[in-house]
Structure formats: structure tokens, C-alpha cells
Structure 1
Amino acid sequence: MPKRPLTPLLALVLLVALALTLFPIFWILMTAIKPPTDWNAAPAVWVPSEPTLINFRTLFDPEAIGKYGVGGVSESATAAVGGSIFASVTATLISVSIGFFAAIGLARYARINRFTPLVILSGRMFPPAAIAVPFVIIFSATQLIDTYLGLIAIYVAITLPFATWMLKSFVDEVPREVEEAAMIDGKSRLQAHLTVTLPLIKGGLFATTLFIFILNWSEFLFALVLSYTNIETIPVRLAKYVTATAGTLYGVQAALAVLAMAPLIVVGFLIQKHLARGMTFGAVKR
């Protein structure tokens, strides 16, 4: 199929779309290096004349921003960053590990019909707010509220369907014959899947892991309703930068947002070529 020529009108449309897409990122980056005097300036300050890293320092030294006469920042973001890393990484590893064996079962030992994707992914079809209250009730009864165990459990529950079906699409591309050859050589079914199938889909496994990490890293609602004082994540911490004297600390929020976005942007570039294939749900067969 011949490529469509890039006309001036199409180039203009793409340029406008790119500008609209990148503007929020640009604004966050500029706000992160603005001093407090520029946060609410009228007219708005697009690019600060005196950029500063005080907002980034305030994340880990709450008293740093005091030299601008802004107070009320009482807690460091260290716990939130550490909590996000621990919960996201742990939940991702568990979700992908379970998802791999579930994908093997679906691809090799189960009869798949057209309703199977609907059944597996049905949990993701409901808005999080609709299932948050039942989870709060269940976790309260089991004393999992405000614990990393509870937070990791909910992360696994909401990402496992994605992990399973993405990995299944990669397992479907591995010929059964290579696994059968390994079993003829004396390996068990489990050994064949671990020593043959797993290495062959390592690219897909890596892409799925990164995608699931993005979902866990950026999750807000469940982290908010399931945490109080013992645990905290970056999205929850972002909502707490409001003081009685200075109002919303936009610069500090933007600084934390930049730190939160950095791994996601890198991850996004790494997995973009794999996502389309991983999200086809095995619809295209060999």
C-alpha cells in the first residue's frame, strides 16, 4: 500500500496535534522550575526569567521553600516515592508471574471462544469508583486497609487481566512443536515452558512488565481510599500539597509530577512498538 504524501495541510494538522499533546508536559516542566512568585502570576509566566530548583529541593527538604515566605509543607516526599516503588514493582512482578502461567494455560490447555476475552477483561470494564467501596469494606474486614499487602493485592487484581491477555498473544506466536520437542528430550511440561517458551517471548514479557508497571505506578483512586497514615504513593502525595497560607503549591506539585513522569516517559518509548501487538488479544492468527 503506497504511503500517503505529507501535504501542507496534513503537516499543519499534525503540528497542531503535537503542540496540544506536548503543551501540558511543557507547562509542568516550566512550573517545576518557577519560584513561588510566578506560580499564580497574572499574566501567566510561560518561561521563568529566574529558574530555580527550590521546588525539587522542597520535595525532600520541606523547609527549603521557607525562604520565599511559603510555609506549611510538613512532610518529605521520600516515603511516597519509596512506597510507589515498592508497591508498583512488587505488584508488577506478581501480576506478570501469575499472568505468564495463566497465559500458558489459556494458550495451550484451554478451549477459547469469543466470550473468553470478555470474561477475563470484564473487571476492567467497570469504573474504579464503582468497585472501590466494596474493596474498602472487604479490606476493612480483613485488616488490609492502610497496608502495603492490601495495596499490592488490589494492584495485582486490577492488572492481572491485562498481563494475562497480553502474554497470551505472545505465547500464541510460539509454535507448539518447539515445546513438544523439548518434552521429547525429557523435559516436563513445566520445564518446557520455562526453558523454551519463556526465552522465546522475553521481548513480549518485557513489554508486558513495563506496561503493567505504568498502570501500577500511576494508579490513584485505590491508593487514596486504601491508605491513611502508614502508606503513601506519589499520586496520593501530589494531592496533599495544599497549605492554609499559600494555597496549592503548584511548583512543588509540578516538581513531583516531573519525577513521576520521568520513568513513564522512558518506559513509553521502550514499549510503544510492542503495545499494538500485545493489545490485539490474539485476534490475528498465524
Structure 2
Amino acid sequence: MASNQKEVIRFNDLSPYLLLKNGNYLYKVPFRDGFAVLKVYYGDRSLLKYISKTLGNVLVSNQTSFMPLARWHTEYECLNLWREAGFRVFDTYDDVIVEGCVPRQGWRLFEYVDRPRFIHYFADPNVPVDERLDMWKRFLPVWHHRHRLALERREPRLIHENGDLKHVMIMEDGQFLFFDFEMSYRSRRKVKDLVAREILAYLKSLGKTVGEEHWDRFMRFTVEQYLDRDLLEHTYTFAFRNPNPLLRAARMLDRKIKPRAGKPFSKYNTARKLRLLMHS
């Protein structure tokens, strides 16, 4: 096969290979001597849903579009950006064309990785708490390094828009693999706020995963080990003291009318707990 010629694989029926249906379709397909994951960005949502979500993203949340082709493009862009910055992400088989029952565009073929995700590891009662704390200790400098890069480069695409313990894998070589980059934030002026948002998202996910019994230890450990106290402090500003009066009022209303805001692991209670631990 010539070096510039792409490999072609064909599937006339993907239903036997369905791995996950979550708005997209993920298929674990036979490939070469193993498997690959074929991701089709066109899901089961209606056109109206795609349009309404896109309007909310673009006009309210300052995020990228929710349309299938836009998510296909954004994810590939972010994968390359994160990889070039030194972070482990899924590899893609750009030298392969998939034919058959897939759209002409809006699909991508990824490496298949069968490794534990954070959400399963940190929830596992068979793993001693001290071992889980040690894993979190190894993760914190990697996490902080990406936050610093995002701030230095004013690069919102280095923020994990859907960041939580469901979207990090523990690799055999000790690296952490990050995934799910279909949407990203767009504002270069608000990167510090976006870092604060991501910190809260991960920490509340951590709380839900390890439970109230252990959350305090993990939070204290984060305060001690995370390398930038100012960024941790900014989580409280982001949640409660935004200098923009409209955003501050919107978050106040959010706390009053949404039941989830009062839950133990809400972003607001996470910010309160973090601030309390930092000043205790």
C-alpha cells in the first residue's frame, strides 16, 4: 500500500458492535489485530434539540456549537491541542476511511483503550483510601500544569468542558488519559473563571464518588497539594462573588430556585467547603 493511500474498512451493519448510545453512537469494531472505537456524532436527538442546545451554548454559555459536525470538528481540534501540549488523549486513525452505514462526515475512528476510569477506581471500596489518596496526589500536578498552560496561553480549549471523574482513565504507564472534548469554551478573557469552574466540577464529582465519609480528607489533601492557592481561592469568587453583576445575580437566583444547588456536592457547597478548609 502506498504511503499516501488510506486504508478502507466497511461495515454494512454496525448494530452488533454497539458499545454506547449517549447522544452519539459508539461502536467497538474489529480492526487490524484488535479493536477500535467508531464514534458517530449524529445521534438520536431531534434537529430542534440540536438547534436549541446550540443556541444556549453560543448565546448564553459562550461554548461551541452542539451540532454534530461542529462537535466532530471541535473534538478533533481539542484532541490535537491537548496531545501537542503533552497530555494523553485517544489516538485517532486518520489514515483510515470507514464506508458502509456511516455518514460521509461526522464520524471518527479512535483507538480502543480498556483501562479503569477515575470514577470506578475512586469508588472502589476494595482499594484502600490511602492508595486512592496517593493516586489523587499523582493527578494533582498534572491537573494544575494544564490549568497553568491554559492561563498562560489564554486557551479555553485546554479547559475540560465536561471534566469529571467519568472522563479520565488510569493508564498502565502511570499517565492519565483525558477524553470527551466535543464542546469547548470560547472566551479567552475568562480562562481563570473556566479553570475555577473545572476545579469545582472535578471536586464535586470526587465527593459524589468517594462519599461524605472520605470527601473531607480528599478536599484537605487538595488544599495541601494543589500548587496554586490563588486558583483554589478563585472558585469561591466564581461561585459567589463574580464581578459581573448580571452573573452574580444569575447565580444567586440559581441557588434559590434549583434544588440541586443545596445538595452536599453542589458546586456552591464545594466552593464553600474549599474556602473553609483553606482558611481553617
- Structure number with the bigger relative contact order (C-alpha 8 A, sep ≥ 6) is 1
Greater helix fraction, Structure 1 or Structure 2: 1
TM over 0.5, shorter chain: no
Structure with greater Cα Rg: 1
TM-score, normalization by structure 2: 0.23
